Amino acid sequence: MERMFAKPLVDSLEGHIDAVEVLYRRPGSLTGVASGSWDGGIILHNLATRKPIAKIPQAHKGKRQGYASLRMVKGFLAAVSIVT
């Protein structure tokens, strides 16, 4: 376990209560990342501040395999499509 969290680990993104299955980077952004987990939630993270931007609890049921798209319109989350 010590080796798994040894350097060069910089930080971790927190918020899910179950295993994270999908991590999606927003195209054209260096800081926008979404994570989806088995707990049914999707969390939008800001990598620069290492804090969650938004949490969408119960966005899906069960295990997910990938995001099809994440669209931001005028700073707001417009649509999240999940491929199962």
| Owner of token pair 């989350």 | 77
**Residue 56 within any structural domain of the chain:** yes
The number of domains in the chain is 1
Return mean pLDDT, the chain: 72
pLDDT per residue as tens digits for the range 17-51: 888 878 888 778 888 888 888 888 888 888 888 88
Helix (H, G, I), strand (E, B) or coil at 66: strand
Residue 7 has pLDDT above 80, yes or no: no
**Residue 41: C-alpha distances to residues 12, 55, 74 (Å):** 17, 7, 23
Joined together, the tokens standing for residue 54 give 């938004």
**Residue 68 within any structural domain of the chain:** yes
**Residue 47 within any structural domain of the chain:** yes
**Could you tell me the pLDDT band of residue 1, with boundaries at 50, 70 and 90?**
low
Give the domain range for residue 66.
20-83
Residue 53 has pLDDT above 80, yes or no: yes
Q: What is the pLDDT of residue 70?
A: 52
Residue 71 has pLDDT above 60, yes or no: no
